[in-house]
C-alpha cells in the first residue's frame, strides 16, 4: 500500500477545489463534492489501517486523529449538503456557490492537517490556514454582518495564533537548552521532563491563550461568537464542531506532550480555570440574550469549557468523547436553525413561536437537541459530564464542582426557557402556517442526535477501547 496517501489527499483536495472554481454548474459542484468526500473516506480507511504509522515525515494518524477524522467526514459532508440546500433556497449565483464549496473543501482539508500532524509547527501552520479558509466561508453573505464577523475573526485569530507561535518558540528555548532540535510531539514528550519548568509554563500558557480562539474558549472567545452569528448556519455548525475539535487537538496534544513533566498539576489548574471562566461567561449570556444563533454559540462556549475542565481533572476519556458528542449535537442544532430562520426570518426569541405546530419535525430536533446540550439522559453527553464531575470530585479541584454545577443549572434554565418559548408561544400572525419543509431534510439531524444517544449509552466495546487508546500514551 502506498504510504504517501495523506499527501495524495492534500494534492487531490487542492485540485478538486481548483476545478470547483472553474466548473461552476450545480450538478458538477455536487459531483466534485462527492469526489472530495470519497477521497476523505479513502483517507480515513487508510489511516485506520495504518494506525500510528509516520507518513511524509511529519504526519501520523493516531487513534485520536482517526476518531476526529470520522467526525469530520460525517459533519463535513452534511454541512456540504445543507450548504447546497441553503444556496438553492436563497437562489445564490453559481459563482458564489462555487467559491463557497472550494473554500469548504480547503477548510476541511486544513483541519484534517491539524488532526494528523505530529509536529507542533505544522499544527500551527494548518490551524492558521484553517482560519484563512474559514474566513471565506464566514464571508459568504457579503453583508455588513458577515464583513464585520470575518474581519474580527481573522484579525483576532491571527493575533491569537501569533501568541501561540511565541509559545512554540518558548518551548523551543526549553528544548534547545537540552540540545533537542526536534519539535515533534514524540520528541517533546521524551525530553520534556528534563526541560526548564519555567519555560514550559510560559509555553503552555501562550499556546493555550492562542489556541483558545480556535477552540472557542475563554479568554479569546468573543470573535467565535460573532463568527457563528455572522456566518451561514451550516458554517456555524462546522465552527462549533470540526474547528472546535481542531483547537482541542492542538491544546490536548501539547498537554499530553508535557503531561510527563512536573508542571502537570499546574497545567491542570490552568485548564480548569479557563474552562470554568468559559462556562461562567456562557451562563451569563445564555440567561440574558434573545438571539437564537448566539445562544447556540454560547452553548458551544460552555461545552468547550467543560471539555477543558474534563482534561484538567484527568477525565481524558470523557473529554474526547464529549467533544465528539457535542460536535454531533451542536451541528444538528445549527442545521435545524437554518429551517428556523427560513420560517421566521428572525433570530430573536421574542418574535417567534408555535414552532411545534409550524414545523413539527424541526421542533423534534430542537427538543432532542436541547436534551443533548443540557446533558439530560438518554443523551450521551450526560454520561461524559457525569464522568467529568466524578473525576473532579476525586481530584484536588473538587471545589470547582459546586460553582460549575450552579452555572450548568443556570444554563439549563436559560436554554429550556428559550426553547419552550420557541415551541409553544403563540406565533406572530405574519408567519405562514404551512411550512414548506420536507421531513427528509430533518433526517440527518435526527441521525446525528441518535448518534449522541448511541455513543453515550450503547457504544460498542470496540469503540470504547478505541477512544481509550486515543487518550493513552503512545511510544
Partner 1 sequence: MVTILIILFVVTLVYVSMVDRLATFVTILGIQGVLLFGIAYMELRDVDALNLSFILAETLVFKGIVIPWFLRRTLRKNKLVKEAEPTVTHFTSLLFVTAIILVSFLLAYTVHEEHLRIGYFTASLSALFTGLFIIMARTKIITHVMGYLLLENGIFLLSLAVGNEMPLAVNTAILLDLLTSVLLLAFLVDKVGESFQTVDASELNELND
Rounded CA Rg of the chain: 21
Task: Catalog residues that contact partner 1 under the rule CB under 8 A.
Answer: 57-58, 119, 121-122, 124-126, 128-129, 131-132, 135, 139, 143-145, 147-152, 154-155, 158-159, 162, 165-166, 169, 172-173, 175-177, 181, 183, 196, 199, 226, 229-230, 285, 288-289, 291, 294
Three cell numbers written together for 350: 421574542
Cβ nearer to partner 1, comparing 152 with 234: 152
Cβ nearer to partner 1, comparing 222 with 269: 222
Cβ nearer to partner 1, comparing 144 with 432: 144
Contact 344, 87 (CB under 8 A): no
Indicate the Cα dihedral angle 429, 435, 436, 438, nearest 10°. 170
Cβ nearer to partner 1, comparing 198 with 265: 198
Cβ nearer to partner 1, comparing 77 with 150: 150
Q: At its nearest, how many Å lie between partner 1 and the CB of residue 287?
A: 11
Residue 80 and residue 87: Cα distance in Å, rounded? Answer: 11
If you write DSSP's letter for every residue of 336-400 in order, what string do you get? Answer: HHHHHHHHHS--BGGG---HHHH-HHHHHHHHHHHHHHTT-TTSHHHHHHHHHHHHHHHSTTGGG
Q: At its nearest, how many Å lie between partner 1 and the CB of residue 183?
A: 7
Residue 143 and residue 141: Cα distance in Å, rounded? Answer: 6
Cβ nearer to partner 1, comparing 57 with 377: 57
Q: At its nearest, how many Å lie between partner 1 and the CB of residue 162?
A: 6
Residue 221 and residue 228: Cα distance in Å, rounded? Answer: 11
Residue with cell 486523529: 65
Q: At its nearest, how many Å lie between partner 1 and the CB of residue 439?
A: 33
Cβ nearer to partner 1, comparing 57 with 402: 57
Contact 96, 139 (CB under 8 A): no
Q: At its nearest, how many Å lie between partner 1 and the CB of residue 177?
A: 5
Q: At its nearest, how many Å lie between partner 1 and the CB of residue 131?
A: 7
Q: At its nearest, how many Å lie between partner 1 and the CB of residue 457?
A: 35
Contact 322, 404 (CB under 8 A): no
Amino acid at each position: 500500500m502506498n504510504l504517501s496517501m495523506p499527501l495524495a489527499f492534500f494534492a487531490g483536495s487542492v485540485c478538486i477545489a481548483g476545478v470547483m472554481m472553474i466548473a461552476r454548474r450545480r450538478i458538477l459542484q455536487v459531483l466534485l463534492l462527492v469526489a472530495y468526500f470519497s477521497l476523505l473516506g479513502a483517507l480515513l480507511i487508510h489511516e485506520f489501517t495504518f494506525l500510528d504509522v509516520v507518513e511524509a515525515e511529519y504526519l501520523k494518524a493516531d487513534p485520536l486523529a482517526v476518531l476526529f477524522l470520522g467526525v469530520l467526514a460525517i459533519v463535513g459532508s452534511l454541512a456540504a449538503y445543507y450548504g447546497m440546500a441553503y444556496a438553492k433556497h436563497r437562489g445564490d449565483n453559481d459563482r458564489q456557490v462555487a467559491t463557497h464549496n472550494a473554500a469548504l473543501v480547503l477548510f476541511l482539508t486544513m483541519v484534517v492537517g491539524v488532526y494528523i500532524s505530529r509536529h507542533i509547527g505544522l499544527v500551527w501552520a494548518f490551524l492558521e490556514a484553517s482560519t484563512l479558509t474559514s474566513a471565506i466561508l464566514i464571508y459568504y453573505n457579503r453583508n455588513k454582518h458577515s464583513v464585520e464577523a470575518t474581519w474580527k475573526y481573522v484579525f483576532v485569530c491571527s493575533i491569537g495564533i501569533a501568541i501561540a507561535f511565541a509559545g512554540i518558540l518558548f518551548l523551543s528555548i526549553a528544548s534547545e537548552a537540552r540540545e533537542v532540535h526536534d519539535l515533534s510531539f514524540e520528541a517533546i514528550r521524551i525530553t520534556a521532563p528534563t526541560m526548564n519548568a519555567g519555560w514550559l509554563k510560559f509555553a503552555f500558557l501562550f499556546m493555550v491563550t492562542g489556541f483558545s480562539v480556535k477552540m472557542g474558549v475563554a479568554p479569546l472567545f468573543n470573535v467565535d461568537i460573532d463568527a457563528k452569528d455572522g456566518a451561514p448556519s451550516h458554517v456555524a455548525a462546522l465552527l462549533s464542531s470540526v474547528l472546535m475539535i481542531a483547537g482541542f487537538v492542538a491544546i490536548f496534544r501539547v498537554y499530553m506532550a508535557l503531561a510527563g513533566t512536573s508542571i502537570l498539576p499546574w497545567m491542570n489548574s490552568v485548564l480548569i480555570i479557563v474552562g470554568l471562566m468559559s462556562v461562567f461567561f456562557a451562563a451569563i449570556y445564555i440567561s440574558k440574550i434573545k438571539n437564537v444563533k448566539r445562544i447556540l454559540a454560547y452553548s458551544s462556549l460552555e461545552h468547550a469549557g467543560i471539555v477543558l475542565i474534563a482534561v484538567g481533572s484527568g477525565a481524558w476519556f470523557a473529554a474526547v468523547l464529549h467533544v465528539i458528542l457535542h460536535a454531533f449535537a451542536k451541528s444538528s442544532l445549527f442545521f435545524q436553525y437554518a429551517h428556523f430562520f427560513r420560517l421566521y426570518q428572525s433570530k430573536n426569541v421574542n418574535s417567534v413561536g408555535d414552532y411545534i405546530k409550524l414545523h413539527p419535525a424541526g421542533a423534534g430536533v430542537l427538543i432532542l437537541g436541547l436534551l443533548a446540550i443540557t446533558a439530560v439522559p438518554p443523551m450521551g453527553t450526560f454520561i461524559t459530564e457525569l464522568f467529568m464531575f466524578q473525576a473532579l470530585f476525586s481530584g484536588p479541584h473538587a471545589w470547582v464542582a459546586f460553582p460549575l454545577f450552579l452555572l450548568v443549572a443556570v444554563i439549563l434554565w436559560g436554554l429550556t426557557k428559550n426553547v419552550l418559548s420557541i415551541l409553544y408561544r403563540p406565533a406572530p400572525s405574519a408567519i405562514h402556517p404551512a411550512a414548506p419543509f420536507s421531513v427528509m431534510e430533518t433526517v440527518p439531524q435526527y441521525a446525528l442526535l441518535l448518534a449522541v444517544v448511541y455513543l453515550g449509552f450503547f457504544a460498542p466495546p470496540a469503540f470504547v477501547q478505541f477512544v481509550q487508546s486515543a487518550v493513552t500514551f503512545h511510544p
